[in-house]
Amino acid sequence: MPLHVAVIGAGIVGVSTALELVRDGFQVTLIEPGEPGGSQATSYGNGAWLSPASVVPMSMPGLWRKVPGYLLDPTGPLTIRWSHLPRLAPWLLRFVLAGNTVQKVERTAKALASLLSDAPSRHAALASEIGRPDLIRRQGLLYVYPDKAAFEAEALSWRLRRDNGVGWIELGPEELFRREPSLSRRYTFGVLVEQGAHCIDPGGYVAALAAHACSLGVTMRKAAAQGFRLAGNRLQAVLTDDGEVVCDRAVLCAGIHAKRLATLAGDKVPLESERGYHVVVPSPAVSPRTPIMPSDGKMANTPTSGGLRAAGQVELASVASAPDWRRTAILLRHANNAYPELRANEDEVKRWLGHRPSTPDGLPVIGVSSGSPDVVYAFGHGHVGLASGPATGRLAADLIGGKVTNIEITPFDPRRFL
């Protein structure tokens, strides 16, 4: 009789984990209160980038000087709600310290690269497996700047990328506008990361992966996990709002909701929501040919099946706080500035808020819980959840199976925060 594994959460990490486990011969139940890939999920509304270049942590040397500005400017790319500051302060201090030296961010970038270096090929293989290769586009990713000096001001970020195997092509104004004729002429320098890819429908992709997992024998349980039943330190069941799921092992992939469940499994993980927003212009007058990140807006502009998606912003606030839809207005303004012929207005766009589950050091939590050898963690991926989902799923399955992982997981240890 195969071991029964409950996977908690059906975002990209959870679905990838379920697929790997069922292929390895386990009986798998996927526990999720919503629809896989639904609008409630972070996997639905992200920037849709699958980028080996996403190794640069949010916390970088000199960040502490900018924190007062984040508190005072409600319209910047990163903002902190005053009401959340007392609760956030310990996390924020860890966040600043995590990137206060070059050596620290070098270690973080190396760890992230282990999850991201082959992300496009992993996703392309998955999309082909489910009969939807069209969902993954391997056309590169483009970063644009007003001039080369603005690019050179980010020298550390680009060195971190280069040191971790990311190459790029530099584009002058003529080549840049030949590639992207709708782009504003105020951008005169571009950096094309040819290794990058994007997903044209992240929500639909996750839903299709979940359906494929079910076709392979995974059982879906529509319920919200609430805890664990243990006998000593051995797992007996996952407790849900719809009864127990009796199982031998569990993998916690519940995004921002993993914090409380990890506490019940013996680990206090400093996990906070970096609230992100997007706007989608359903039928844009113009659209980039390649996903673009303008240096001033710090947002991903991605052509998707639903229209032009502009995703970004970091709002540090509680999960329960009401949305601040000024964030989507900022995204739309940046999009209109980046593509002068777009001329989209707020009445025609679709807007969304989601919760990036973020640790202060920018690395996910992947490892065995302190409370039980039967509970494995795979959460806290922050800005790289979509891209790193398949690699994380393989790691989680290896941990469940007692195998040696093909990636060094020490940087992701749940106990690193002690």
CA distance 376 to 337: 45
Task: Record the tokens describing residue 364, joined without a space.
Answer: 């996910």
Q: Name residue 221's beta-bridge partners.
A: 31
**Rounded alpha-carbon distances, angstroms, from residue 292 to 102, 139, 179, 374:** 27, 11, 11, 42
Q: Determine the pLDDT at residue 67.
A: 75
- Considering only CA atoms, which of 402, 277, 415, 299 is closest in space to residue 26? 402
Q: Determine the pLDDT at residue 82.
A: 86
Sorting pLDDT into bands at 50, 70 and 90, what band is 65?
confident
Are the C-beta atoms of residues 217 and 28 closer than 8 Å to each other? yes
Q: Determine the pLDDT at residue 71.
A: 72
Task: Record the tokens describing residue 157, joined without a space.
Answer: 């970020």
Q: Determine the pLDDT at residue 154.
A: 96
Q: Determine the pLDDT at residue 45.
A: 96
Residues 276-296: tens digit of each pLDDT: 999 999 999 999 999 999 999
Task: Record the tokens describing residue 173, joined without a space.
Answer: 């104004």
CA distance 37 to 350: 17
Neighbour tally for 75: CB within 10 Å: 11
**C-alpha 45: how far from chain center:** 10
Q: Determine the pLDDT at residue 298.
A: 86
CA distance 62 to 145: 21
Q: Quick check: 358 pLDDT over 90?
A: yes
Q: Determine the pLDDT at residue 93.
A: 94
CA distance 397 to 357: 21
- Considering only CA atoms, which of 169, 300, 155, 201 is closest in space to residue 179? 169
Burial 3-15 (b: 16+ CB within 10 A, else e): bbbbbbbbbbbbb
**C-alpha 319: how far from chain center:** 16
Per-residue three-class SS string for 195-217: CCEEECCHHHHHHHHHHHHHHCC
Sorting pLDDT into bands at 50, 70 and 90, what band is 103?
very high
Q: Quick check: 224 pLDDT over 80?
A: yes
CATH superfamily to which 1-51+116-133+198-270+360-418 belongs: FAD/NAD(P)-binding domain (3.50.50.60)
Structure letter (DSSP) for residue 232: T
Average pLDDT value for residue range 225-229 = 99
Phi-psi region of 49 (alpha: psi -120 to 50; beta: other; left: phi over 0): beta
57: part of which helix (H) or strand (E)? none
Residues 170-183: tens digit of each pLDDT: 999 999 999 999 99
CA distance 99 to 105: 6
Are the C-beta atoms of residues 249 and 402 closer than 8 Å to each other? no
Sorting pLDDT into bands at 50, 70 and 90, what band is 192?
very high
Looking at every residue in the chain, the average pLDDT score rounds to: 97
Average pLDDT value for residue range 208-230 = 99
Q: Name residue 113's beta-bridge partners.
A: none
CA-based torsion, 401, 403, 405, 409: positive or negative? positive
Q: Determine the pLDDT at residue 13.
A: 99
Q: Determine the pLDDT at residue 78.
A: 85
Helix (H/G/I), strand (E/B), else coil: 34: coil
Residues 306-339: tens digit of each pLDDT: 999 999 999 999 999 999 999 999 999 999 999 9
Sorting pLDDT into bands at 50, 70 and 90, what band is 252?
very high
Are the C-beta atoms of residues 307 and 282 closer than 8 Å to each other? yes
Q: Quick check: 297 pLDDT over 90?
A: no
Q: Quick check: 4 pLDDT over 90?
A: yes
Higher pLDDT, 391 or 74: 391
Q: Where are the alpha helices (DSSP H) in 130-215?
A: 148-152, 155-163, 173-179, 202-215
Q: Determine the pLDDT at residue 306.
A: 98
Q: Quick check: 88 pLDDT over 90?
A: yes
Backbone angles phi, psi at 19, to 5 degrees: -60, -45
Average pLDDT value for residue range 131-136 = 98
